Amino acid sequence: MTTRWVFVPVLGAPLAHAPVLRFNLFPQLAQPIDGGRTVRGRPVFGANKTWRGAAVMFAGVMGATVALERFRWFRDRLPAEIRDVSPAVTGSLLGASVVLGELPNSFIKRQLDIAPGEHRGSFAGIAISLFDQADFVVATWLFLRPLFKMPVCDALDAAAVVTAVHIPLNALGYFVGARTSPI
């Protein structure tokens, strides 16, 4: 499926973010996006959703998009609608979808008193944890809509592939000290 290739530049987010977390780079930007605000006495997004993370992940996706677009083997695998758009536009939309696409799920988890990196053993908790691996796919589907009418079945396929890739990446991030939990 050509749609899967649209999501490959998203790997730039963890590649850029992992060393920043591991070595605490740009500490002045490690401020919560929600500014410490609460809803019903619970954090809006939590301390793990920071301006540093948003900026670095956006830049990682943007950089990966621009870099990958230089390779014909990559461009040829993209849907025609995406090939015809500037990589800066595609990268911006992908980067924004990665950053903003995580926020609704973080909000729900904070409101359910699920700490960052934690999950509940209930069916709902497991479902939220799995959704957390590919939550940005919904945002990507919406953000790219003006350029590319991604079929729902392709979005579901991408979510499954992203989840399958994200879980071992999380474990690797935990192993190298960039994450506090393996999932």
Q: Which DSSP string corresponds to 25-94?
A: -SGGG--BTTTT-EETTEESS-TTSBHHHHHHHHHHHHHHHHHHTT-HHHHTTS-HHHHTS-HHHHHHHH
Do 135 and 163 meet the contact criterion of CB atoms below 8 Å apart? no
CA 155 to chain centre: 14
Q: Which of 18-22, 30-34, 55-59, 165-169 has the lowest mean pLDDT?
A: 165-169
Report the predicted TM-score, pTM, of the whole model to 2 decimal places: 0.90
**Residue 110: is it exposed, middle or buried by C-beta count within 10 angstroms (0-12/13-18/19+)?**
buried
Structure tokens at 128: 């939220």
Distance (Å, whole) CA 87 – CA 114: 37
Residue 123 binned pLDDT confidence (cut-offs 50, 70, 90): confident
- Report the candidate in 86, 105, 160, 127 with the shortest Cα–Cα distance to residue 152: 160
For residue 129, name the pLDDT band (cuts at 50, 70, 90).
Answer: confident
State the chain's mean pLDDT as an integer. 91
